[in-house]
Structure 1
Amino acid sequence: MGITYNEKDHTFHLQAKDTSYILKVREGGYLTHLYWGKKVEKYNGSNALRYFDRGFSPNPAGTGTDRTFSLDTLPQEYPSYGTTDFRNPAFQVELENGSTITDLRYQSHKILKGKPALEGLPSTYVEAEDEAWTLEILLTDTIIDLHATVTYTVFTNFNAITRSVRLQNEGNENMKIVKVASMNVDFHEADFDFVTLPGAHIRERYISRVPVREGVQSIESRRGASSHQQNPFMALVRKETDECHGEVFAFNFVYSGNFLGLVEVDQFQQTRVNMGINPFDFSWLLMPGDSFQAPEVVMVYADKGFNDMSNTFHKLYRTRLCRGDFRDKERPILINNWEATYFDFNENKIMEIAEQSKELGIELFVLDDGWFGKRDDDFTSLGDWVVDKDKLPNGMKHLAEKVEAMDMQFGLWFEPEMISEESDLYRKHPDWCIHVPSRGRSTGRSQLILDLSREEVCQNIIDQLTDILSNAPISYVKWDMNRHMTEIGSAALPANRQRETAHRYMLGLYKIMEELTTAFPHILFESCSGGGGRFDPGMLYYMPQVWTSDNTDAISRLKIQYGTSLVYPISTMGAHVSAVPNHQVHRTTTLKTRGHVAMSGNFGYELDVTDLTESERKQVFQQTAFYKKNRALIQFGDFYRLKSPFNGNDAAWIFVSPNKEEAVFVYVTILAEPAPPFKKVKLAGLDESKSYHIEEINHDYNGDELMNIGLNIPLLEGDFQSIMWKLSAT
């Protein structure tokens, strides 16, 4: 296990837990791709590169009369543009003479124990050197003195490989990067389906699966954020792949801004995949001696279906991407006042909600939007993080201490990246927002975006938030971001660097988050962007959980949470019980079903508990008691999807403890059916040799029986019904 180099045939064999990745330096210094898939102990050339004289596939300079060699047909690791390969390149630079042709060749390599961090960027990490091995391959274009360090890390305990690249200008002239993917893989075949997670605000991360076809298919964001519309995840899967069977080759970009994931099938049924920063409206000036570090892509291989893939992502991200005090801690049950009060509250109302929430077993009160400036609506005050004394006359410290005195934690909502035109900050610094001087300033939610490419803007955010967080007992922060970028430009950058603004924004944001999360390690930070608009690995590096969606409807959440679970751990997903009719889709569901769906993530409430009936209060108390008893299992156990809401009228899933001693099974039916059939569900993840007692039906079953024969589901009357059953090994 690790990385070996065969000097005789110039092959690198990378071995992760049960995965092999093999590449070769071909004659002439071309870095080629040979294999990625199930682990092999030793590679002896069974699928050696083959060559043939292909029409209209020209031959690179220097190959003499050999008409069989063309980059147009060669599977490559980090392909250039302009020297016979007509497919999408992994990168492209523009020179001072206007040329965009490059020709990278192998120069040298290093094999390192462990995994170096990426400066200024989020990435997966190791806690001990023997958890991973890293290969750095230096490719050079000797004509223009461009150096590309292509980096691979393989994990000892995971079927995961990470890829990134650093470009460095060692020449005497300026270069401009116009495209930089973080990875490229050229598969030798094209018999795949393409799986992605498209969506929209309040409909995030639905699962899409379509056949791979000749030509180009892609996912991307041009919005300045990873976005609700496309998640930076994609996978190639075999036609027969399902939850428990078949190969998966998955890619996830550790970045929160504009991205492009591209799949191209060429004329010879080879498939090229590359992923990185979106080249749309992007460039980066690389002056002599300068370097550019691209973000990381996590690549996961699975040979036992989607659940196998998800298991790898979940465990890797939970333990080697998320960081800080809360990485391994159980998350508190919270109450958020947003859908209870919106902007209309005062200290008495907040305390009334907090007091009654405490009686119901809730542990954390979160004060959402409206506590600062003159924030009585969403037209004003972003950027002025000063307590509104009309609503909270005694200040934030007083309110937080009153909540804390009830043995509850106190949390606060911020939207630090935004600025309102109606704010003191905007009146003082109108040039601090992202804008183009000659253009009007489009608004979203009546707000503009602060220019985080500027050091003074970043420092202002750090100073304002530090003042609030240092002077009140705050244990949770909800970090929101509610609009995407338009008129992208910076007053602080010269004309030839304007297209760097969006990426420099992300670097500034990551710096802010690094400083604040380091300064306040006792605070649980939750990322939010209109719900799930930045649910990506980059944010998880700083904030170990995300508000999954602004849509709190339990039935909508079936698909949202199911799709999200394809990649992201349960411990990262915020899920709340809200009032009915639901505020987003106006559907009415039972409190029981709302609870079962919300308890399948980081559990909380977002309603006015002072309006609950006695019967509802009793149910809420039972829900919080059940969740406290089982939250370690739900948040950190192994998760198995059993029935997909994308494929029928019901959904089911199960959480299983690592030692397989306990499990929680959830089943939800959507619409009632006339003359309904009897249904059963085959469980997963249990120990087939153990016997399990199901508390709610007071019955024992063997694990092999539950997994191979299945469990009968009772007839559930009415729409939107559910069960949540606890299994314990006897």
Structure 2
Amino acid sequence: MVKKPVQTNSAASERYVHLQSAKTSIVLMMQPAPAIVYWGKKIDAEAPLSGALFDLPVGQARLDVAIPLALIPEQGRGDFGSPGIEGHRNGKDWAPVFEVISVTATLSCATITMSDPRAGLEVCSRLSLDEDTDVLTLSHKLTNTGTTEYALQRLALTLPVNDDFIDLISLHGRWSHEFHQQRLSFKHGGYVQENRRGRTSHEYFPGLIALQKDTNELRGDLIGMHLGWSGNHRVQAQVKSDGRRYLQAEALLAPGEVSIAPGESFSTPELFAVFSAEGLNGIMQRFHQFVRHQILDFPQPKLRPVHFNTWEGIYFDHEPHRIMEMATAVARLGVERFIVDDGWFTDRDDDTCALGDWQVDKRKYPEGFKPVIDHINQLGMEFGLWVEPEMVCKNSALYRAHPEWMLGMDELGYQQPAGRSQFLLDLQNPEAFDYLLSSLDSLMTEYNIGYLKWDMNRELVQSAHQGHAAYHGQTLALYRLIDALREKHPYVEIESCASGGGRVDFEVLKRTHRFWTSDCNDALERQTIQRGMQLFFPPEVMGSHIGPRLSHTTRRCHDMSLRGITALFGHMGAELDPQGLEDSELRAFSKYIALHKQYRPLLHSGTSFILPSVDPGTHIYGVMDESVVLLAVVQLTMPEHALGQRLKMPILSGDKSYRVEVVDVPAAFNKTMKHLPVWIEKTQVVNGDQLSQIGLSLPVMDPESAMLLSFTVES
């Protein structure tokens, strides 16, 4: 779409900027400080804006003027909430008050420059409203216009939310238990969530959703936001005493970590946010399309290949002949990308040693990787390799040669705790950076490696570069390392893994292509993990593998239909030792891989949705396009009632008819009922309005079971 200057009425032209997208309007008031005064359904940009709409009363026993809820709240202006900026210059210039000096705007973008010459600071705020998906991108850049260094403590991104958004949804977790949702009351006070682990973290995803009390998956107003940042962060939601509410997000800086020299600048990570009047599905679908069109950068257009990873099959026991036998076996199942996991490099016989020595182990691979890769390629599969470049073990040739490359303050006599017997390399050290880039470049130049599983298996403790805190700098250096490697090898795809879902965010996704969602392959756990992750990320970047019957993280056993259907709605892979499985289990793997391939174009480009369920132990979700709906019904726990609930399909078109087909059911399905609903045993054609308003009676299902349905438009 061609950009054009925003149209405002002449009386308010110096005060308001009106941004628009497909379904959303954002009105910015410029004076006395830039603030979003409306964010919601699209309104007419041609109609004059009345200033009376935004004139606030001033109560007794308060300051004598109304204080705006600004993009950068300022204590110096009288905002008593969380400031948008904190810092000082030798104890001074600690409470700046910025004045607008320039504004440039188009139909969907605004750049606002503000200055406080007394404090020697200038801020440039950029807002961009994606015209197709309604997603807002916000960032600030702070420039030191003074003559001495400015010590920055905080630079936060602040967004107002509606007064009737009295609930919050946040995502919490831990290793193998990521992306669990909690819904909180948001009436008074606030909610603060901090991550200091040096990566995005399993514990606290940097995102929040503010919503009306009655908002569900299908209806209600809400705003969702996500900070695109792979390091320490703080996100919070606050209710002011006057009832106004806001969300705030920032990179969490350690003491002394950022000092801005005269003439230099500091930029925030980007904050991504979206308003929807169409419930949780509305923000989920908008984020999915935004990621597909504005974040993802696949090297070449192709279907997402089905993965096989060797980890649960061989662990550290690498033997080329056995690996080639595994490759032959999984190729028959339909696998398209074969990844050799940890244990391939010099002297790596367990997880206590050798990280950093990124050369192929000649004891295990006397002829190098070439025979293995050639065999895999001849079977029609792409070869991928596990790496963990940021890490080093003290029991490694690299550490013995360069102990000074380790991230930390050991040279001062401190001893940080190990994590999985490993530590981090200082990526801001140019020699360490160049060594890693050269090592990875050499591997990828010598061998036909199309894919890297980039892991990161510990948190940062006492992270320091030359004695100064280095969490923020380490994160930026990681981005530079990945970018430099991709510049040398533009066709490689990279998976972001950090003991599973410990580094999942939009910024790292700009330079990677897939997430390992969780180290937990237990299908029951994955149902909740993937449901939370899909609020922000589309299925094609969500690594979702069919695991073995016995989960190695929970020790639970599950029927193949639950494992297969759970893995179906992501980027599918398989974790198994094919040489140790019965033929029936291998056939089942092959069946679900084929089913995924059948629906893959729909799964990875269609519109995802979640349907509300009367039974909290039932998940109902799917993906659709104009011609077909693929729907999963998953019973997590024992059903609350003796009869199944009615499956109503309000997402269908009322003026069309649909062919209702059962694609897959649990093996023990017939044992739960004496009589099956007729639509399960025989394909039916039903009017969409009837499916929406009346619905189908669901069968009685065992706990921890799943079924798959399709609804196809009848011509």
Fold similarity call, TM over 0.5: yes
Residue aligning to 1:467: 442
- The amino acid of 2:691's aligned partner reads L
Residue by residue, what CA displacement relative to the aligned partner does 1:130-173 show, whole Å, maximum 9, x if unpaired? xx732111111120221000111112112121100000111212
How far is 1:472 from its partner?
A: 1.3
> Given that residues 179 and 205 in structure 2 are in contact (C-alpha distance below 8 angstroms), is that contact kept between their aligned partners in structure 1?
yes
The question of whether the paired residues in 2 share the 8 Å contact of 1:358 and 1:408 is answered with yes
Residues 331-410 of structure 1: matches in 2 within 5 Å?
331-410=304-383
What is the 5 A alignment of 1:578-597?
A: 578-597=547-566
**For 2:641 and 2:613, how far apart are their aligned partners in 1?**
22
Q: Which residue of 2 aligns with 1:76?
A: 70
1:99-138 deviation line (CA, Å, top 9, x unaligned): 52211111111225xxxxxxxxxxxxxxxxxxx7321111
CA distance in 1 between partners of 2:422 and 2:691 (Å)? 53
Aligned to 2:247: 273
Q: 1:204 to 1:674 in 2, by over 3 A?
A: closer
Q: How does 1:448-527 map to 2 (within 5 A)?
A: 448-491=423-466, 498-499=468-469, 501-527=470-496
Equivalent position of 1:50 in the other structure: 56
Which one of 234, 246, 255 corresponds to residue 229 of structure 2?
Answer: 255
The percentage of aligned residue pairs carrying the same residue is: 29
Q: Is structure 2 residue 103 aligned with structure 1 residue 109?
A: yes
Is the alpha carbon distance of 1:644 and 1:456 closer, same or farther for their aligned partners in structure 2, counting shifts above 3 Å?
farther
* Distance of 2:535 and 2:640 partners within structure 1: 32
**Equivalent residue of 1:177, what SS?**
strand
2:565–2:708 Cα contact (<8 Å) kept: yes
Mapped to 1, the partners of 2:585 and 2:294 lie a distance apart of 40
Check whether the contact 1:442–1:487 (CA below 8 A) recurs between aligned residues: no
Partner of 1:648: 616
2:631 matched to which residue of 1? 665
State the shift of 1:506 in Å. Answer: 1.2
- 8 Å CA contact 1:197–1:208 kept in 2: the answer is yes
Question: C-alpha distance in 2, partners of 1:32/1:364?
Answer: 49
Q: For residues 406-434 of structure 1, what are the alpha-carbon distances to aligned partners after superposition, in whole Å with 9 as ceiling and x for unaligned? A: 11211111111111111111111111121
How much has 1:675 moved relative to structure 2? Answer: 7.2
Letter paired with 1:652: I
Deviations 1:624-656 (A, max 9, x none): 2211111111122111112569x6222121111
Q: Which SS does the other structure have where 2:205 is aligned?
A: strand
Q: For the residues of structure 1 that align with 2:91 and 2:196, how far apart are their CA atoms? A: 29
Deviation at residue 188 of structure 1 after TM alignment = 6.4
**8 Å contact from structure 1 (residues 106, 140) kept in 2:** yes
**What does residue 676 of structure 1 align with?**
642
The DSSP-based 3-state class of the residue aligned with 1:379 is coil
Deviations 1:320-367 (A, max 9, x none): 1111325x5321111111111211231122112111111111112111
Where 1:392 maps in the other structure, the secondary structure is coil
SS at match of 1:707: helix
Between the aligned partners of 2:572 and 2:649, the Cα distance in structure 1 is 23
Between the aligned partners of 1:726 and 1:705, the Cα distance in structure 2 is 16
Alignment deviations for residues 284-341 of structure 1 (CA, whole Å, 9 cap, x no partner): 1111111111111011000110001101000001111111325x53211111111112
Change in Cα spacing, 1:143 to 1:7, as seen in structure 2 (3 Å) is: farther
> Is 1:178 paired with 2:153?
yes
CA separation in 2, counterparts of 1:527 and 1:239? 35
Aligned with 1:287 (options 240, 253, 261): 261
For residue 389 of structure 2, the aligned residue among 409, 416, 420 is 416
Specify the code of the residue in structure 2 equivalent to 1:108. S
**2-side partners of 1:399 and 1:363: how far apart?**
15
Distance in structure 1 (CA, Å) of the matches to 2:210 and 2:256: 27
Task: Quote the Cα distance in structure 1 between the aligned partners of 2:567 and 2:459.
Answer: 28
1:266 Cα deviation from its structure 2 partner:
1.7
Quick one: distance in 2 between partners of 1:517 and 1:98?
Answer: 43
- Structure 2 contact 114–122 (Cα < 8 Å) conserved: yes
Q: 1:83, CA displacement in angstroms?
A: 4.2
User: Is this contact kept in 2: 1:81–1:92, CA < 8 A?
Assistant: no
Are residues 510 and 566 of structure 1, via their aligned partners in 2, closer, same or farther at CA, if it must alter by over 3 Å?
Answer: same
Query: How far does the alpha carbon of each residue in 1:477-510 deviate from its partner, in whole angstroms, 9 at most, with x for none?
Result: 111111111011113xxx6xx23x1111111111
Q: TM-score, normalised by structure 1?
A: 0.90
Partner of 1:120: none
Which one of 202, 221, 225 corresponds to residue 195 of structure 2? 221
Contact 1:411–1:478 (CA under 8 A) maintained in structure 2:
yes
1:17-65 C-alpha deviation (Å, 9 max, x unpaired): 2111112222xx433332111111143235222232542x44xxxxxxx
Larger displacement relative to structure 2 (689-698 or 520-529): 689-698
Q: Is 1:303 matched with 2:277?
A: yes
Shift in alpha-carbon separation, 1:193–1:137, aligned structure 2, 3 A: same
Query: Which deviates more from structure 2 when the two are superposed, residues 15-24 or residues 235-244?
Result: 15-24
Structure 2 match to 1:162: 137
Report the Cα distance in structure 2 between the residues aligned to 1:586 and 1:90, rounded to whole angstroms: 47
Q: Deviations over 1:47-87 (max 9, x none)?
A: 222232542x44xxxxxxxxx2154xx32221223443221
Identify the residue that residue 667 of structure 2 maps to in structure 1: none
**Conservation of the 8 A alpha-carbon contact between 2:165 and 2:222:** no
Q: Which amino acid aligns with 1:8?
A: A
Distance verdict in 2 for CA 1:473–1:703, change over 3 Å: farther
Contact 2:257 2:472 in 1 (8 A): no
Native 8 Å contact 1:137 1:151 kept in 2: yes
| 1:542 equivalent in structure 2 | 511
Indicate whether 1:37 and 2:21 are aligned: no
Show structure 1 runs of 5+ residues with no match: 59-67, 113-131
Partner of 1:96: 90
Distance 1:39 1:694, change over 3 A: same
1:126-205 to structure 2, matched below 5 A, reads: 133-181=108-156, 183-187=157-161, 189=163, 191-205=165-179
- TM-score when normalising by structure 2: 0.92
User: Contact 2:216–2:612 (CA<8 Å) still a contact in 1?
Assistant: no
Partner secondary structure for residue 636 of structure 1: coil
Per-residue CA shift, 1:357-378, capped at 9, x if unaligned? 1111111211111111211111
